[in-house]
Amino acid sequence: MSKTWFITGTSSGFGRQMTEKLLARGDTVVATLRRTGALDDLRTQYADRLDVVELDVTDSAAVRRTVDAAFATHERIDVVVSNAGYGLFGAAEELTDEQIRRQIDTNLIGSMQLIRAALPHLRAQGGGRIVQVASEGGQYAYPGFAAYHATKWGIEGFVEAVAQEVAEFGIELTIAEPGPAATDFGAGLALATPLDVYEATTAGQVRRGLTDGSFELRGDPEKFTQAMIDTADQSPAPRRLTLGSDAYHHIHDALQSRLDELENQKDLAYAGDLTN
């Protein structure tokens, strides 16, 4: 049975590929983006099943208006995909206040507001799915991506809580955690002005890898987006979807390290309880 999807950030990358795949298989897509012309080719081919809407997710009022209009137009929206976002690279002290604010407004607050706007409609229709595109960077951190990781770790915590709040309404949420993939993420990466003092550090090493193309991208975005689409037919929905071998190893190592540290502090943790 065909589904109707609402997807943000569809001009390129995962959002564009997901939109193409869904339209090709007969689904309907409400595709939001900041540059509506980026989907002109698809709009010509799939005029009856593609709604293209201009939206900047940092405008919370516009997010709510757009979501309300989409649900009013379509009898049902089965899946909401929160995908809009970008990366910001720079050691913490290299970043400007404006860069940090834009990163948080887009990746974190924009995603939170989209989910909040969709929930009343999903409740009213008796349920649905939300897919939050996060990153392996929601559980693992690279030096130089501090602000980016703050948004991804933050949205994962938000989704974890919301999933528990709305489970009884038949609404399920999945966090997609793709690893490095051959998309245009790098082309859209915002870069802070570097400080010489970081040139010889790990942050400087990562910066060089990003700028000279030596940062290895093993992930296949086509396979990643197909896996995200497939979750819509899984019941129950997976809470997390790890995509790519890099993501698997990085997340596994990060979780194991935190678990080992936690176990080493068990006695200290228990010692902090009130005693009778």
* Sign of the torsion formed by the C-alpha atoms of 63, 69, 74 and 75: positive
pLDDT tens by residue, 52-69? 999 999 999 999 999 999
Question: To the nearest whole percent, how much of the chain has pLDDT over 90?
Answer: 87
Q: Please give the average per-residue pLDDT across 101-105, as a whole number.
A: 98
pLDDT tens by residue, 117-145? 999 999 999 999 999 999 999 999 999 99
Per-residue DSSP letter, 39: G
CA distances from 61 to 53, 75, 169 (A): 15, 23, 25
Distance between CA atoms of 6 and 175, rounded to whole angstroms?
Answer: 16
Q: 112 near 155, Cβ under 8 Å?
A: yes
Q: Please give the average per-residue pLDDT across 159-163, as a whole number.
A: 98
Which residue shows structure tokens 């959002």? 15
CB-based contacts of 97-106 (< 8 A; 24+ apart in sequence): 99/147, 99/190, 99/192, 100/147, 102/58, 102/190, 103/147, 103/148, 103/150, 103/151, 103/190, 104/147, 104/150, 104/151, 105/58, 106/57, 106/58, 106/151
Q: Please give the average per-residue pLDDT across 210-220, as a whole number.
A: 77
How high is the pLDDT of residue 86? 93
User: Is the pLDDT assigned to residue 217 strictly greater than 80?
Assistant: no
* Closest of 100, 99, 86, 108 to residue 156, by C-alpha: 108
Q: Is residue 177 part of a domain?
A: yes
Q: Is residue 149 part of a domain?
A: yes
How high is the pLDDT of residue 186? 60
When pLDDT is cut at 50, 70 and 90, the band that residue 71 belongs to is very high
Mean model confidence pLDDT for the chain: 94
Q: Is residue 275 part of a domain?
A: no
Q: Is residue 39 part of a domain?
A: yes
Bridge partners of 191, per DSSP, are: 89
pLDDT tens by residue, 222-257? 999 999 999 999 999 999 999 999 999 999 999 999
Per-residue DSSP letter, 140: -
How high is the pLDDT of residue 184? 64
**CATH number assigned to the domain comprising residue 148:** 3.40.50.720
Q: Is residue 171 part of a domain?
A: yes
Question: To the nearest whole percent, how much of the chain has pLDDT over 70?
Answer: 97
Structural domain of residue 70, as residue ranges? 4-270
Q: Is residue 119 part of a domain?
A: yes
pTM for the whole structure: 0.94
The domain total for the chain is 1
Q: Is residue 106 part of a domain?
A: yes
Q: Is residue 276 part of a domain?
A: no
